[in-house]
A = this chain, B = another copy of it.
């Protein structure tokens, strides 16, 4: 893949992580957190994250939920790309999009080269990783074997794309940072500024004021998080995230909301326990 993917059209995203280890609570789903954070900071609206097992039908159900129920245009999957029989993500994507799995020449060359460099033969299990849904672009793995894929399609009347990444965090991140992040950065039209203030007040006490600020700044995301104890030593963290077509606009909008809460606190004699100024990432 020599040219940058064109991700201009996509505004919303969904994440599907695949594998029983999350459903068994054996691992915390840090892949979703990593992807969500990256996508959010690039101005994409992440609509949902889902974890399902490696069952073929379950993966298809999760893709349907992300695309059809939640309206995601750009869906990321992690996990299920390896050589073992329970790695069935690409089969599920093919079924979901109504295409066949076919050996992809570029992926095959890459996998062959990686194994032959170590004098290891190409077994059916290894060959399997080169079988991609028809029309998929392989995202060759810089630190492992199994390639990720990028595939566009039309579902209903909407143009969507699926990016499928390995489940091993190091490989997932390497492919994302090589192929996806630069494309999102190039296409991004929205900048996000975020920051928070922590006030020593009960959440139930400041709730009406939060509501009034939300109404006046309806385009800005404001969210209160109770910390400490509501009736013991209450602290409320009020997080603000503002979008803007350039970094400065995003920053100014975020700052305006922060200043509202800081003046209100001063006026009411509420202690500001912490002020984390707005920053654009």
* Residue among A38, A62, A84 having the largest count of chain B Cβ atoms under 10 Å: A84
Instruction: Name A's interface SS.
Output: mixed
Nearest residue (CB) in B for A211 is: B85
Nearest residue (CB) in B for A114 is: B231
Judge whether A2 is part of the interface by a CB distance below 8 angstroms. no
Nearest residue (CB) in B for A208 is: B125
Write the nearest CB–CB distance from A165 to chain B, whole angstroms: 14
Specify which of B26, B28, B47 is in contact with A239 (CB 8 Å cutoff).
Answer: B26
Q: Are A21 and B85 in contact (CB under 8 A)?
A: no
Quickly give the copy total for this chain: 2
* CB-defined contacts of A51 to chain B, threshold 8 Å: 32, 48-50
CA distance A163 to B274 in the complex (A): 35
Q: Are B48 and A50 in contact (CB under 8 A)?
A: yes
Write the nearest CB–CB distance from A258 to chain B, whole angstroms: 16
* CB-defined contacts of A143 to chain B, threshold 8 Å: 229
Give A267-281 as 1s and 0s: 1 = Cβ < 8 Å from B's Cβ atoms. Answer: 000000000000000
